[in-house]
Amino acid sequence: MAITKIWTVKSRLDSSLNYIANPDKTSIKPDIDAVEGVIKYIKNEDKTENCLYVKAYNCTTDNPYADMIDTQVFFGKVGHKNAVLAYHLVQSFKDFETTPEVAHKCGLELAERLFADKYEVVVATHLDHKHLHNHLIINSVSYADGYKYRNNFKDYFVDIRGISDAICIENCLSVIENPQRRGMHYAEWLALKEGRPTIRGSIRRDIDEIIKSSYTMEQFWNNLKKRGFVIHRKGPNIKHTSIIAPNAKRPMRLDNLGKGYSEAEILERIIATRNGIITAAPSEIPKKQYKFRGNIKNVKGKKLKGFIALYFHYLYLFKKIQRKQTPQRVSFFMRDEMIKFDRYQKQFKFLFSHGIETGEDLQKYQKDKEAEVEILITRRKKLYEERTDENCDEVKDQAKEINTELNELRKEIRLCKAIFKDSYKIAEKKRQALALQKQADKELRENEHKRRSR
What mean pLDDT do residues 179-188 have?
A: 59
Query: What does the pLDDT read at residue 327?
Result: 78
Cut 0.85: pTM above it: no
Query: What does the pLDDT read at residue 280?
Result: 58
Confidence of residue 82 (pLDDT cuts 50, 70, 90): confident
**Domain spans, the chain:** 3-170, 186-274, 296-451
- Which residues in 175-193 are b (16+ Cβ under 10 Å) and which e? beeeeeeeeeeeebeebbe
Q: Are strands 86-92 and 3-9 parallel, antiparallel or unpaired?
A: antiparallel
How far apart are alpha carbons 347 and 217 in whole angstroms?
A: 44
Angle at 220 between CA 217 and CA 221, to 5 degrees: 95
Nearest Cα to Cα of residue 135 among 145, 147, 148, 126: 126
How far apart are alpha carbons 134 and 100 in whole angstroms?
A: 10
How far apart are alpha carbons 321 and 312 in whole angstroms?
A: 14
Nearest Cα to Cα of residue 271 among 196, 336, 211: 211
CA atoms within 13 A on the CB side of 433: 26
SS percent in the chain: helix, strand, coil, step 5: 55, 10, 35
Q: Among 190-199, 264-273, 293-302, 413-422, which stretch is predicted with the lowest mean pLDDT?
A: 293-302
Helix (H) or strand (E) holding 125: strand 121-126
Q: Encode pLDDT of 25-51 as tens digits.
A: 555 544 433 333 322 333 333 332 344
Tell me how far the alpha carbon of residue 3 is from its chain's centroid: 19
Query: What does the pLDDT read at residue 186?
Result: 58
Query: Which residues face 243 on adjacent strands?
Result: 231, 252
What mean pLDDT do residues 219-237 have?
A: 84
Query: What does the pLDDT read at residue 46?
Result: 39
Q: What is the 8-class DSSP label of residue 28?
A: P
Query: What does the pLDDT read at residue 371?
Result: 93
Q: Encode pLDDT of 94-150 as tens digits.
A: 888 888 889 999 999 999 998 988 999 998 888 877 788 888 889 989 998 899 887
What mean pLDDT do residues 430-448 have?
A: 81
How far apart are alpha carbons 74 and 52 in whole angstroms?
A: 31
Is 232 in contact with 238 (CB distance < 8 Å)?
A: yes
CATH of domain 3-170: 3.30.930.30
The percentage of the chain sitting over the pLDDT mark of 70, rounded to a whole number, equals 76
Nearest Cα to Cα of residue 245 among 285, 199, 291, 283: 199
Identity at 220, one-letter amino acid code:
F
Query: What does the pLDDT read at residue 29?
Result: 47
Query: What does the pLDDT read at residue 269?
Result: 87
Query: What does the pLDDT read at residue 30?
Result: 42
Choose between 303 and 228: higher pLDDT: 228
Nearest Cα to Cα of residue 93 among 84, 104, 85, 82: 104
Query: Given strand 86-92, what is the order of strands in its sheet?
Result: 3-9, 86-92, 133-139, 121-126, 54-57
What mean pLDDT do residues 139-165 have?
A: 81
Q: Among 137-141, 177-181, 194-198, 312-316, which stretch is predicted with the lowest mean pLDDT?
A: 177-181
Choose between 240 and 415: higher pLDDT: 415
